[in-house]
Homo-oligomer: A and B are copies of this chain.
């Protein structure tokens, strides 16, 4: 056993080669790996590093009781998800109290829109904690599509697609470069906001950007508005490009 320590480990956007040397070392050293997923589904973060997990390592599967079925602001969602994070933190704390190190696997970067943050705020005051930065999904996506996203004096903005349409429109018009995340059922709204802000022609739709079955195309060329939750839209900046 390597001692009580909570470690948020960014495992990158999906390509198993976009894992850092530091994440690899932690996977070799840690006693327990914890991973989030939707109930009934495998963990994406776990599958990225599956081939690097030590045989016999203790695994702690943290399964969301609810994801996008309920609105995020509904009292039922808040009470269910709050209880889930409390319970997950308690399970991790039990391992830390037994002097085991616990690595929480995180897609992308742990402290950038990641579920891990809910464990960090519950546990970091009581236990030694380390966070290992990872390559974000958006970096993986613009790199795979070869699109320079922002340069020089560009203002770059990340917008959750869950924002109201008028907010999306206003902010898209006001940013040099933007990424719209969490598309899912919001793609039709995002398309309208891009059109109204005059950015639709530049927008690139990316799904599973760094995996072999990646899909990338101009959003204007997409005929329907079906999208998975983790798909995103890139709106490149660098208007002064030579």
Q: 10 smallest A-B Cβ distances: which pairs?
A: A17-B22, A133-B143, A117-B148, A156-B158, A133-B139, A131-B143, A17-B21, A133-B135, A109-B139, A157-B157
- Residue from the list B118, B143, B174, B241 in contact with A111, Cβ < 8 A: B143
Say if the beta carbon of A30 comes within 8 Å of chain B. Answer: no
User: A25, B20: Cβ atoms under 8 Å?
Assistant: no
Q: Mark A153-182, 1 if CB is under 8 A from B, else 0.
A: 111111110110000000100110000000
Q: How many copies does the complex hold?
A: 2
Binding site for B on A (CB under 8 A): 8, 10, 12-13, 15-22, 24-25, 72, 82, 85, 109-113, 117-118, 120-121, 124, 129, 131-136, 139-140, 142-144, 146-160, 162-163, 171, 174-175, 210, 238, 241-242
User: B17, A12: Cβ atoms under 8 Å?
Assistant: no
Q: Report the Cα distance A17→B148, complex, angstroms.
A: 25
Chain B residues, Cβ within 8 Å of A20: 12, 17-21, 135
User: A18, B15: Cβ atoms under 8 Å?
Assistant: no
- Known contacts A15-B22, A109-B135, A210-B133: A155-B153 contact under CB 8 Å: no
User: B113, A151: Cβ atoms under 8 Å?
Assistant: yes
- Known contacts A18-B21, A21-B24: A120-B148 contact under CB 8 Å: yes
Chain B residues, Cβ within 8 Å of A25: 17
Chain B residues, Cβ within 8 Å of A19: 20-21
Least Cβ–Cβ distance between A119 and chain B, in angstroms: 10
- Residue from the list B117, B135, B153, B154 in contact with A238, Cβ < 8 A: B117
Q: Report the Cα distance A112→B140, complex, angstroms.
A: 11
Chain B residues, Cβ within 8 Å of A109: 135, 139, 143
Least Cβ–Cβ distance between A45 and chain B, in angstroms: 16
Least Cβ–Cβ distance between A14 and chain B, in angstroms: 11
